[in-house]
Amino acid sequence: MTSILFFEQLLNGIQFGTMLFLMSAGLTLIFGVMGLINLAHGSFYMIGAFSAALIASLTGSFWLALLASLSGAAIAGVLIEIFIIRRLYRRDHLDQVLATFALILLLSEGVRWCFGAFPLYLDIPENLNGTLPILDDIIYSKYRLFIIFMGLLIAAGLYILITKTRLGVRIRAGQNDRQMISALGIDISKLYTIVFALGASLAGLAGAMIGAIQSVEVGMGEPILILAFVVIVIGGIGSIKGALIGSILVGVTDTIGRIFLPEFLKVFMEPASATSVGSSIGSMLIYILMALILIIKPSGLFGKT
Amino acid sequence: MKKFTTTLAALLILGSTSSFADGHKVKVGMITTLSGGGSGLGIDVRDGFMLAVKGNKNISVITKDDQRKPDIAVQLADKMIQSDKVDVLTGIIWSNLAMAVVPATVNQGKFYLSPNAGPSKLAGKGCHKNYFNVAWQNDNLHEAAGGYANSAGFKNSFILAPNYPAGKDALTGYKRYFKGSLAGEIYTKLGQKDYAAEIAQIRASGADSVFFFLPGGMGIGFMKQFSQSGIKLPVVGPAFSFDQGILKAVGDAALGVKNTSQWSKDIVNDANKKFVKDFESEYGRLPSLYASQGYDTGKLLISAMSKAKVKDKDKFRDALRKADFSSTRGKFSFDKNHHPIQDIYVREVIKEGKILTNKIVSVGLKDHSNAYVSECKM
């Protein structure tokens, strides 16, 4: 029974991780290519979820809603990049943090004006409802398997995009030497807009997929944003591979720690205090993990030194 | 941005009501959660309160947003007491914020009327003559849920709540009345939205029922994920996860769930009928229990103002203690520790046409007070 529970929790951790990956891939790409610290990344998560909820309530289709989340967040990304972010590339990180933090507040209030403060309804499609038996005794939510599948699909897609396509070559070149790539006649500002929109749309997709099983409400992006930053610091800033491995690591550590730490503490503490101490330490675990990794590898697992 | 707009709004309110010569006037400082996660609760409390005091020229209200952060709530309270010179504070939703603000407020001689949070510490040893709770002591609804679980024949419950003062009060309250055994007991992170790990534990625990207290957006996630998990256990909880603001977002996953509340839109009395009708026509949505609490807080304040001047603290306090107003809940009075004695109902989530709402099925606990009265030395 414990092994079944463990396996199920492992899947939960991986599912959480793949979702984090969608968030952190965009964040790390934007930082790696454009050198921009984008605190407003969580807002695209929210915009994606709200676009999806809007389209789902109009059309009733979950798949159209997913498309809407991608395009809604991408459009918002393009507009914000052109009108605001573009002015920030040459400024130092503190200015970027200040401006993108202001964006969080503006976007949250904006969404609240449009949709109100009450959570919106977004549900998963009928054919992904319920559970699927995987091995003998293990049953797992179909929708969560779908999230894992989508996450891996997008990871593979990003891998191909970065390594096999012309756009990918430019992105990598942009990461290495910004001045050289523009000297070679590549329209760097267009490239930046594309990368920013790509990152925003991935965050939007994550928001819609998670919004369907959690809640679609103002401010939903910020808690995830903090975790996404933890992930990219662990994985090494700018590295997509690092983001993938960091996400899974954070997802699994958080889930497993949260559940098994209180159980473990019960061995030598009374149950009530074991539960509260265990869940307190459980929620610190990923930050402890981050600290340990930074001690061993100061620039993250796959970061450039 | 949030800060600017609220300050601006506050300035406007200040500008429009600048004369406070008359002793019958009362200045109210409302600190509540108006932005970010959980803002639906604060907005409902504010709207309910404003509806109650609407048109009353002797009450002026300064409303500010605490963003659900204790440090901000403390700053706002200090400012309201010291520079705005408010007489009464109210509005706080979350128990951790109440613990940070209330003791300092009442010790400075101001009145605090709680429209929501009722942590056990403020009902027992930390009670204060200037602190009144108009909603409930935190344990109350959970105690009723425990009582309901007995009558429904549950023997082995799995219980969970967030790791903060009200979460601990919730599980304590449930356990105080529930006679069966516990299949598991977990504290989750405050603000957590994904419960896959907890639901897996519930599945593995062999429980025959689930009790949860997850207010606001937390409960939406839990109910949806629980219904998708295919676990067919009966669920019981306090009304916070099934109130009007949230049901729409939970959807059909909530249908049939039993929940406990001190208020429901179908309680039959004139005050409640008027409240539901006025609230709907004023704001264009159905009221929640939070709105009813805000409304009762406003009505309580008005009833005390008609009896005494706020500057005459002892008389005003006595007037508050009498609770001489017609509550939306029907019978309502204060116990010795200034917490309500009231009926707690068991409700069921139903569909009225296309709208999900609640209907009372039975009275869970009659004339219910709280377990901390004897600890309070007032």
Per the CB < 8 A criterion, the answer to whether B80 and B29 are in contact is yes
* Same-domain pairing of B40 and B80: yes
Query: A207: closest CA among A69, A68, A59, A109?
Result: A69
10 Å CB burial of residue A241 (0-12, 13-18, 19+) is middle
Helix B95-107 with B70-82: angle, nearest 10 deg: 20
* Same-domain pairing of B229 and B356: yes
What percent of chain B is modeled with pLDDT above 70? 94
* Same-domain pairing of B126 and B257: no
* Same-domain pairing of B6 and B146: no
Say how far apart CA A32 and CA A23 lie, in whole Å: 14
| Chain B contact set for A219 (CB, 8 A) | 35-37, 39
| Chain A contact set for B188 (CB, 8 A) | 279
10 Å CB burial of residue B18 (0-12, 13-18, 19+) is exposed
Decide if pLDDT at B68 tops 60.
yes
* Same-domain pairing of B286 and B313: yes
Say how far apart CA B41 and CA B293 lie, in whole Å: 11
- The total of structural domains in chain B comes to 2
pLDDT mean over B269-294: 95
Give the pLDDT band (50/70/90) at residue B9: low
E strands along chain B, which residues?
Answer: 26-32, 59-65, 88-90, 111-114, 131-133, 156-162, 181-188, 209-212, 235-238, 258-261, 333-334, 340-352, 355-368
With respect to residue B339, please indicate whether it lies within any of the assigned structural domains. Answer: no
Interface ipTM:
0.79
The predicted pLDDT at position B37 comes to: 67
B184 close contact with A: CB closer than 8 A: no
A255 close contact with B: CB closer than 8 A: yes
The predicted pLDDT at position A261 comes to: 87
* Same-domain pairing of B243 and B352: yes
Go through chain B and tell me how many residues it has.
Answer: 378
Give the pLDDT band (50/70/90) at residue B16: very low
Per the CB < 8 A criterion, the answer to whether B310 and B26 are in contact is yes
Query: Which residue would you say has higher pLDDT here, A258 or B273?
Result: B273
Out of A207-216, B8-17, B89-98, pick the least confident.
B8-17
> Residue B281 sits in a domain of what CATH number?
3.40.50.2300
* Same-domain pairing of B158 and B253: yes
The predicted pLDDT at position A182 comes to: 83
For residue B132, what are the domain limits?
2-136+267-334
Which residue positions in chain A have pLDDT lower than 70? 1, 305
Give pLDDT tens digits for B296-349: 999 999 999 999 999 999 999 999 999 999 999 999 999 999 999 999 999 999
The predicted pLDDT at position B190 comes to: 82
Which helix (H) or strand (E) is B145 found in, with range? Answer: helix B140-151
The predicted pLDDT at position A75 comes to: 97
* Same-domain pairing of B20 and B127: yes
What percent of chain B is modeled with pLDDT above 90? 76
**Tokens 């404003």 — which residue?**
B50
* Same-domain pairing of B27 and B125: yes
Phi, psi of B265 (to 5 degrees): -70, -20
Say how far apart CA B77 and CA B257 lie, in whole Å: 38
- The matching CATH number, chosen from 3.40.50, 1.10.3470, 2.60.40, 1.25.40, for A2-296 is 1.10.3470
Say how far apart CA A62 and CA A126 lie, in whole Å: 9
* Same-domain pairing of B181 and B293: no
Decide if pLDDT at B6 tops 80.
no
A271 to B220: CB separation less than 8 angstroms, yes or no: no
Decide if pLDDT at B15 tops 50.
no
User: For residue B335, what are its two tokens?
Assistant: 């116990």
DSSP B87: S
| Chain B contact set for A223 (CB, 8 A) | 191, 193
User: For residue A194, what are its two tokens?
Assistant: 């594309």
Give the pLDDT band (50/70/90) at residue B138: very high
Out of A100-104, A110-114, B10-14, B219-223, pick the least confident.
B10-14
Residue A54, sorted as left (phi over 0), alpha (psi -120 to 50) or beta, turns out to be alpha
Per the CB < 8 A criterion, the answer to whether B378 and B337 are in contact is yes
B36 to A120: CB separation less than 8 angstroms, yes or no: no
Say how far apart CA A189 and CA A193 lie, in whole Å: 6
Say how far apart CA B135 and CA A196 lie, in whole Å: 48
Per the CB < 8 A criterion, the answer to whether A137 and B200 are in contact is no
* Same-domain pairing of B254 and B274: no
Phi, psi of B165 (to 5 degrees): -50, -45
The predicted pLDDT at position A181 comes to: 84
Out of B12-16, B271-275, B299-303, pick the least confident.
B12-16
Give pLDDT tens digits for B100-114: 999 999 999 999 999
The predicted pLDDT at position A262 comes to: 83
Minimal CA separation from A301 to chain B, in Å: 27
The predicted pLDDT at position B3 comes to: 53
The predicted pLDDT at position B22 comes to: 56
With respect to residue B180, please indicate whether it lies within any of the assigned structural domains. Answer: yes
Per the CB < 8 A criterion, the answer to whether A37 and A100 are in contact is yes
Please spell the DSSP secondary structure of B276-322, one letter per residue.
HHHHHHHHSS---HHHHHHHHHHHHHHHHHTTS-TTSHHHHHHHHHH
DSSP B108: T
Give pLDDT tens digits for B152-202: 999 999 999 998 888 999 999 999 999 999 999 888 888 888 898 899 999
According to DSSP, the residues that pair with B131 across neighbouring strands are B112
Decide if pLDDT at B78 tops 50.
yes
The bridge status of strand B258-261 relative to strand B235-238 is parallel
Q: Tell me the pTM.
A: 0.81
With respect to residue B277, please indicate whether it lies within any of the assigned structural domains. Answer: yes
Say how far apart CA B102 and CA B132 lie, in whole Å: 10
The predicted pLDDT at position B245 comes to: 82
Identify from B4, B228, B246, B356 which residue to disrupt to test chain A contact, counting A C-beta atoms within 10 A and taking the largest count. Answer: B228
Per the CB < 8 A criterion, the answer to whether A5 and A216 are in contact is no
Which helix (H) or strand (E) is A131 found in, with range? Answer: strand A131-133
B230 close contact with A: CB closer than 8 A: yes
